Amino acid sequence: MKRTLGVCYYPEHWPEAQWAEDAVRMADLGLTWVRIGEFAWKRMEPVEGTYDWGWLDRAIETLGAAGLRVVLGTPTATPPAWVVAKHPGMLPVDAEGRVRGYGSRRHYCFSHAGYLAECRKIVTALAKRYGPNPHVAAWQTDNEYSCHDTVLSYSDAARTAFHDWLRGQFPGPGNDGDIDALNAAWGNVFWSMDYDDFDQIGLPNLTVTEVNPAHAHAFRRFSSDQVVAFNRAQVDIIRAHSDAPIAHNYMGRITDFDHFKVGADLDIASWDSYPLGFLEDRSGADDAHKRAYARQGDPDFQAFHHDLYRAVGRDGRWWVMEQQPGPVNWAPYNPAPLPGMVRLWTWEAFAHGAEAVCYFRWRQAPFAQEQMHAGLLRPDSVEAEAFGEATEVMAELKDAPDVAMAQAPVAIMFDYDADAAWAVQPHGVDLSYFGLVFAWYRACRKLGLSVDILPPTTRDFAGYALVMVPGMMHMPDDLKAALNDAEGQIIIGPRSGARDPHFNITTPLPPAWPGSDLVVSRVQSIRPDLPIALAGGGQVEGYLEQIEGGGEVVLRTEDDAPVAVQCGARVTYMAGWGDDVAHMALIRVVAPELAVTDMPKGVRRRATGSEVFWFNYTTQAVEIEGQDVPPAGILRKVLSHVS
Ligand code: GAL
């Protein structure tokens, strides 16, 4: 497959007289894709029921005539003022009970029936008009579900929809649901929380103290399902009018809806990669790390999402829909990328299987919220720094062999439902499921391993030497059985199998592993400044369980308490949140047959089916495989067994 480049473009931001020149410059640069339309509802439907397609017809024609392929976005992330005036109840409500107002974007509640009807209307009109257009080669639904914390809404609309959803979860006679079943499943006898009727159930905010975790978890599951339904409504409409593939652009470290479930309705997964913004505002890294990688981004954060979204995309199809091209406007600090990083980020995406990488955005806007956000062009249309790097990538793509995907030697399971469970009950400040899985991912990468991410529905683990399933709080029995039967080694824990589907501690006590007497007899979270040292190096940070039973102890504390033990012929239970040293040590011990290498600091390796790439995320030249690789440099070697 030919890997391609693209750009995000807003024709409505620029005089029409400029479009043709822009299109020619995009084509001259070698771009294939141009994504447009995703925020232009007001231009498409200025007043209710009156559509203005003329400008969009001409924009698509101009771009298409230059040889570009259009990705057309549905504009539902930016409902215009007239929509909000018509449906004031559509505005989302935050956990403090405050209405989140009009004046930016994503100001809608996924549960509001009136808003959904407006969305169906505009998407139908758009899909009917442009479904047959030969230049429209792909679609994007909405824009970044959940960005700006917009999945959980505590509105009246959400409350009513939550009741209906709960009735479906606890079916009873007629459409009434079985409230006794809900009370029993949630343990509502505690604090006299039993309900007489579903309509009495509130949303899990504004309670005097902690809400029942089963209630909070159910609300997160419901909210996730609302996103799935919202997206599906658009997909169904688009498919009725177009054969072009449909994508959504997901975000970095946004986990509060199940991307696998949304992805099942789409053809392509894509995500928006802003390495420098993410390092500052969501990597969870300490200041020293942020200083060291301020202009390069975290060495693992992008790769993790590339691997995650490869798993989310149907048949592994995925793109970077928005690639940071220079300083952004929204992080606490917004430095310029080190020269070479835009090229590095682009190639890293291709090395992980991206079909396309699109830069955000074509030209920096001189107005409104993102006027401090770089583009490929400056506001005066002169080329910005990233333009040169995109040109370089284009030239390289012409000669480079295609990137062949291959199964990685190791896999990590990622479960959005477990992420929700940890969010409800982290048990310690800053403990998160994402953080735990990412820690395991980083340990693999520091050992030079390429990783596949697996959805929680995976039951076939053939071909993996090692599969890690940390922190998956509810583990269905058939998953446990499949892991027990896998041919490779398995690492589970901490907190794997800790709860039943309704957030109750299981008895026999967790992890209730088939064929093992291992039990987690006590759990504790630990202050970050009180780590527990492990015998042989490394430490446990933040969380450690006390375990009893099980087989051979493979990792213990300096005080001789077991930390990792066998609970199956090839299954190891890890009872704590280790640091990188501990995780790397455990991987080496558990799967000695893996070919691991300690990577130089800030260098990462990615093996594809035909090549090995090394990415230098440091500010220094680094010697890799006997060659000097400059800062932000890439080394690429074709594997010898491939002709
Ligand atoms: C993304 C978003 C874009 C733009 C960009 C700025 O999250 O999808 O519309 O706002 O951030 O970095």
pLDDT digits (tens, 9 = 90+) for 128-160: 999 999 999 999 999 999 999 999 999 999 999
Short-list 124, 2, 129, CA closest to 60 = 129
Q: What spacing in Å lies between the alpha carbon of 146 and ligand 1's midpoint?
A: 12
Residue whose CA lies nearest to ligand 1 atom number 12? 328
Residue whose CA lies nearest to ligand 1 atom number 11? 272
Which residues lie below 8 Å from residue 316, measured CB to CB, with a gap of 6+?
Answer: 310, 353, 405
pLDDT band at 639 (very low <50, low <70, confident <90, very high): confident
How much is the mean pLDDT over the chain?
97
Short-list 337, 528, 338, CA closest to 430 = 528
* Mean pLDDT computed over 446-466: 98
Which of 360, 364, 370, 376 best tests ligand 1's pocket when mutated (most atoms within 8 Å of CB)? Answer: 360
pLDDT digits (tens, 9 = 90+) for 97-107: 999 999 999 99
**Which atom of ligand 1 is nearest the CA belonging to 38?**
9
* Mean pLDDT computed over 218-232: 99
Which pair of structure tokens corresponds to residue 317? 């199809």
Q: Which residues of 258-293 are buried (b: 16+ CB within 10 A; e: fewer)?
A: bbbbbbebbbbbbbbbbbbbbbbbbbbbeeeebebb
| Complete DSSP assignment for 394-460 | HHHHHHSPPPPP---SEEEE--HHHHHHHHH--SSTT--HHHHHHHHHHHHHHTT--EEEE-TT---
**φ/ψ of residue 350, rounded to 5:** -65, -40
Percent of the chain with pLDDT over 90: 97
pLDDT digits (tens, 9 = 90+) for 379-393: 999 999 999 999 999
Cα 372 to chain centroid distance, Å, stands at 25
Q: Does ligand 1 lie within 6 Å of residue 328's CB atom? A: yes
d(CA 82, CA 492): 52
**Residue 174: predicted pLDDT:** 80
Where are the strands (E) in 119-238, listed by range? 136-140
pLDDT band at 2 (very low <50, low <70, confident <90, very high): confident
Which residues lie below 8 Å from residue 132, measured CB to CB, with a gap of 6+?
Answer: 241, 242
Helices 433-446 and 416-424: angle between axes, nearest 10 degrees: 120
User: Which of 322, 385, 389, 611 is the catalytic position?
Assistant: 322
Domains of the chain: 4-87+118-149+217-397 (3.20.20.80), 410-590 (3.40.50.880), 603-638 (no CATH)
Q: Does ligand 1 lie within 6 Å of residue 417's CB atom? A: no
Q: What spacing in Å lies between the alpha carbon of 129 and ligand 1's midpoint?
A: 26
Q: Does ligand 1 lie within 6 Å of residue 278's CB atom? A: no
d(CA 109, CA 126): 22
**Residue 39: predicted pLDDT:** 98
Q: What spacing in Å lies between the alpha carbon of 78 and ligand 1's midpoint?
A: 13
d(CA 237, CA 121): 10
User: Which of 38, 45, 118, 144 is the catalytic position?
Assistant: 144
**Residue 643: predicted pLDDT:** 35
* Mean pLDDT computed over 258-265: 98
Task: Tell me if residue 623 is catalytic.
Answer: no
Helices (H) and strands (E) in the chain, counts: 18, 24
**Which atom of ligand 1 is nearest the CA belonging to 249?**
8
Indicate whether 641 pLDDT > 60: no
Task: Tell me if residue 322 is catalytic.
Answer: yes
pLDDT band at 175 (very low <50, low <70, confident <90, very high): confident
Cα 525 to chain centroid distance, Å, stands at 26
* Mean pLDDT computed over 346-365: 98
**Which atom of ligand 1 is nearest the CA belonging to 143?**
8
d(CA 394, CA 376): 14
Residue whose CA lies nearest to ligand 1 atom number 5? 360
Q: What spacing in Å lies between the alpha carbon of 148 and ligand 1's midpoint?
A: 11
pLDDT digits (tens, 9 = 90+) for 589-601: 999 999 999 999 9
Residue whose CA lies nearest to ligand 1 atom number 10? 370
**Which atom of ligand 1 is nearest the CA belonging to 251?**
7
**Residue 642: predicted pLDDT:** 44
Q: Does ligand 1 lie within 6 Å of residue 272's CB atom? A: yes
Q: Is residue 491 a contact partner of residue 441, using CB atoms and an 8 Å limit? A: no
Helices 179-186 and 213-241: angle between axes, nearest 10 degrees: 120
